[in-house]
């Protein structure tokens, strides 16, 4: 088996998810589930039981890192599964770096999108008011009831951010 095969398979999965999330706002299980199986098989073939352990650690960490944002409604299950697949192929240390890179890239892109739509001032004002209420109440009230479903909501597809974060970490390491 060529050493580049796992990276090639992951690249194909990333490009498909990048495209479908941008165009249709969906990350398909029919892409992710076969990728999970391929990642397990390739990890085992390359490194035996130690490869499976590394793949499992990366998968679980990738899923755990996005569990809270998913539960809060800030992103979809496909985004969570995509980060888990990245961890499956590349391991826990790599997926943690991707998570950090994607968080930074996503924050920058979100600010740029808000600026472009003329909504940055209003959003910052609401966040500061919410933080003030949180502090004044001694953390007894939640001024941020939900991340999803607001009137005039601006959202950012996260798979492209994860893909760009993956490329950034891959090429810088």
Each domain of the chain, given as residue ranges in start order, spans: 5-119+154-172
| 29 sits in which H/E element | helix 29-65
| 18 vs 151 pLDDT, higher one | 18
| 17 vs 135 pLDDT, higher one | 17
> Is the separation of the CB atoms in 101 and 169 below 8 Å?
yes
Residue 101 scores a pLDDT above 70: yes
State the sign of the Cα–Cα–Cα–Cα dihedral 122, 123, 128, 129.
positive
CA 59 to chain centre: 12
- Taking residue 53's Cβ as centre, other Cβ atoms within 10 Å add up to 13
Q: How far apart are CA 130 and CA 93, in angstroms?
A: 34
Listed in sequence order, the residues at least 6 apart from 143 whose beta carbon sits closer than 8 Å to its beta carbon are 129, 130, 131, 133, 134
- The average pLDDT across 19-30 equals 97
Phi, then psi, of 81 in degrees rounded to 5: -65, -35
- The average pLDDT across 17-41 equals 97
> Is the separation of the CB atoms in 62 and 84 below 8 Å?
yes
> Is the separation of the CB atoms in 154 and 2 below 8 Å?
no
Residue 35 scores a pLDDT above 90: yes
What are the tens digits of pLDDT across the range 104-152?
999 999 899 889 988 888 888 888 888 888 788 877 776 665 555 555 5
Output the pTM of the full model.
Answer: 0.85
């Amino acid at each position: 088996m060529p050493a580049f095969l796992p990276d090639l398979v992951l690249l194909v999965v990333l490009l498909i998810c990048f495209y479908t999330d941008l165009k249709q706002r969906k990350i398909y299980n029919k892409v992710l589930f076969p990728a999970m199986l391929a990642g397990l098989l390739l990890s085992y073939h390359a490194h035996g039981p130690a490869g499976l352990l590394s793949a499992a650690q990366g998968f679980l960490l990738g899923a755990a890192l996005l569990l809270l944002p998913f539960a809060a409604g800030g992103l979809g299950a496909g985004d969570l599964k995509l980060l888990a697949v990245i961890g499956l192929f590349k391991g826990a240390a790599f997926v943690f770096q991707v998570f950090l890179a994607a968080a930074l890239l996503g924050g920058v892109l979100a600010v740029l999108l808000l600026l472009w739509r003329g909504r940055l001032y209003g959003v910052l004002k609401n966040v500061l008011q919410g933080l003030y209420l949180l502090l004044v109440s001694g953390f007894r009230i939640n001024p941020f009831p939900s991340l999803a479903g607001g009137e005039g909501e601006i959202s950012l597809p996260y798979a492209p951010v994860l893909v760009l974060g993956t490329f950034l970490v891959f090429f810088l390491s």
